[in-house]
Amino acid sequence: NAGVTQTPKFQVLKTGQSMTLQCAQDMNHNSMYWYRQDPGMGLRLIYYSASEGTTDKGEVPNGYNVSRLNKREFSLRLESAAPSQTSVYFCASSPGTGFSAKNIQYFGAGTRLSVL
């Protein structure tokens, strides 16, 4: 019963390097999300995918791209990393939307990224 799995758990990059954060969920959820968490700021939405085949920008999308590879997987790419992208990144998934259902988000354990 894995839930939401994120890889890698830790990463150190140099300014200008690129990398992809991977996320997979095994709960057959329709919606997936990428957040970043910075001290004192709370969780901020970077991108989300409401359903397979769609992606949309969240609150802080600049410097990131995403791919919803299939229903299970949602990746986040940093094309040219900057020190301001040093953060903890969380992937989450939820069943979807609907006023009669609890649209609970389930989170992965996070990726701790440092950009030097």
- Tell me how far, at minimum, the Cβ of 116 lies from another protein, in Å: 21
> What is the rounded distance in angstroms from the CA atom of residue 22 to the CA atom of residue 20?
6
- Tell me how far, at minimum, the Cβ of 5 lies from another protein, in Å: 11
Please identify which residue in 78, 81, 90, 113 interacts with another protein, judged by CB under 8 A. 90
> What is the rounded distance in angstroms from the CA atom of residue 39 to the CA atom of residue 98?
32
The number of beta carbons lying within 10 Å of the beta carbon of residue 24 is 20
Please identify which residue in 7, 58, 65, 71 interacts with another protein, judged by CB under 8 A. 58
Which amino acid type is present at position 89? Y
Please identify which residue in 81, 94, 113, 115 interacts with another protein, judged by CB under 8 A. 94
